[in-house]
Amino acid sequence: MNIVCLSHLRWDFVYQRPQHLLSRAARGGRVLYVEEPLPIDGASRLDLKRDISGVVVAVPRLDTDLSEDDRDRTQRRLLREAIAAHVPGSYVLWYYTPMALGLAHELAAETVVYDCMDELSAFAGAPTELRQRELELFRKADVVFTGGQTLYEAKRSQHHNVYAFPSSVDVAHFGQARLLTVDPPDQARIPRPRIGFFGVIDERMDYPLLRGAAEARPDWQIVLIGPTAKVDPSSLPQASNIHYLGPKSYADLPSYIAGWDVATLPFARNDATRFISPTKTPEYLAAGKPVVSTSIRDVVRPYGVRGLARIADDPPSFVDAIEAALSEDGAETRRLADAFLSHLSWDETWIRMKRAIQAAAADRRVRQASRSRSRPSDLTPLSAIEGSARV
């Protein structure tokens, strides 16, 4: 199966759902991952690189002097050229953003997939036309995937063929954290207990919650790993026991988590978090860490109700939940978590997605054949037409 993916996410930004899925797709076919354009002073071009996974990453670089119409025409041309060179033959057109619709309306994909991993219209800075574009993409798509159960419940009435594929996990990768004993240098200097988080530090975080926890327990060290986006770094809570270590590679995450005592998901409850299904929840559990989260619906179900995560929303209760996590033995929670995670993997998710795509492709071929049979042939004998007219 060959795939052309149009995404709003930079391949090298944070290793998350697109990288997990498309790296696996590249094991059995060609994958072209097309990012949003970047400006350049000079002739427009397409920067290409082959990721270690085999995915070819394409970044359009557009001349800053181009008009809006010329930008669109140039992107479409660059996209056609990249597909011809790297994905010859039939392919699946895979969308992560409805805003890419205008670039691909001329493409002849055998199947169209919309992997709706977030409610993008609720994010800070979302284009005003995004909701309308998504409705158009629903009409175009043969199959829709959602990044969580809550998002599935919001989207299932908008398309006839929707599947929920919540966040999965690479258990072996994060399981390394249970065996590692040497801290990375920038974390080794931080005392314990350490209360950790990794992910994008943006408008989805509950900063008053973090500030309150740090003030309530000055002996705890709050370790935050990840890039900052869409927030002013100067506005982030500052304290001697809050440590911003910046972005880390996916390969290095287990070595950091290994040195934590509790792993957290300190998300705000707002429009941007209403539909999220944090990938880090099963990753924390695979690393063998107790988990404390705010009441994000896709964390409460299934992790909270199964006793795999403690749920708390305000500073006092969040602190109490962390206290309880620090004092527990944890062996029984790890046993329950391991049993739950044994049925959750990116490999299995990709296999199930591939089957759904193949079924959608077969259904599309049936519909196309049916439409062809219902149309009068251009080669219908004249006598047959005249005979029909006489009846």
If you write DSSP's letter for every residue of 145-201 in order, what string do you get? EESSHHHHHHHGGG-SSEEE------HHHHHGGGT--PPPHHHHTS-SSEEEEES-B
Mean pLDDT (the chain, rounded): 92
pLDDT of residue 145: 98
If you search the block for the tokens 């919650």, which residue do you land on? 209
Segment 205-225 shows an average pLDDT of 97
Confidence band for 83, pLDDT divided at 50, 70 and 90: very high
pLDDT of residue 385: 31
Rounded CA separation 131/146 (Å): 16
Predicted confidence (pLDDT) at residue 384 exceeds the cutoff of 70: no
Q: Is the peptide bond before 88 cis (omega within 30 degrees of 0)?
A: no
DSSP conformation class of 108: -
pTM of the shown model: 0.90
Predicted confidence (pLDDT) at residue 38 exceeds the cutoff of 60: yes
Segment 216-226 shows an average pLDDT of 98
Handedness of CA 237, 243, 246, 248 (dihedral sign): negative
Segment 227-241 shows an average pLDDT of 93
> Residue 48: which of 76, 94, 81 has the closest Cα?
81
What's the fold here for domain 171-341? Rossmann fold (3.40.50)
pLDDT of residue 368: 77
Q: Which two tokens stand for residue 144?
A: 């829709």
Q: Are 279 and 167 in contact (CB under 8 A)?
A: yes
pLDDT of residue 122: 83
pLDDT of residue 377: 54
Q: Are 310 and 291 in contact (CB under 8 A)?
A: yes
Q: Is the peptide bond before 227 cis (omega within 30 degrees of 0)?
A: no
- At 182, the amino acid letter reads V
Rounded CA separation 57/102 (Å): 20
Rounded CA separation 165/20 (Å): 13
CATH 3.40.50.2000 residue ranges of the chain are 3-164, 171-341
**70-108: string of b/e by CB count within 10 Å (b at 16+)?**
ebeebbbebbeebbeebbeeebbbbbbbbbbeebbeeee
- As a CATH number, domain 3-164 is 3.40.50.2000
Predicted confidence (pLDDT) at residue 112 exceeds the cutoff of 70: yes
- Burial class of residue 218 (count of CB atoms within 10 Å of its CB; 0-12, 13-18, 19+): exposed
pLDDT of residue 376: 58
Beta-sheet pairing, 291-293 with 262-265: parallel
Which helix or strand (DSSP H or E) is residue 139 part of? Answer: helix 130-140
First to last CA, the chain: 50
What is the secondary structure of 48-96 as a DSSP string?
Answer: EEE-TTSPEEEEEEEETT--HHHHHHHHHHHHHHHHHHHS-S--EEEES
Rounded CA separation 27/200 (Å): 28
The angle, 0 to 180 degrees and rounded to 10, between the axes of the packed helices 17-25 and 346-374 is 70
Rounded CA separation 198/14 (Å): 10
Q: What percent of the chain shows pLDDT beyond 90?
A: 84
Confidence band for 126, pLDDT divided at 50, 70 and 90: confident
Predicted confidence (pLDDT) at residue 251 exceeds the cutoff of 80: yes
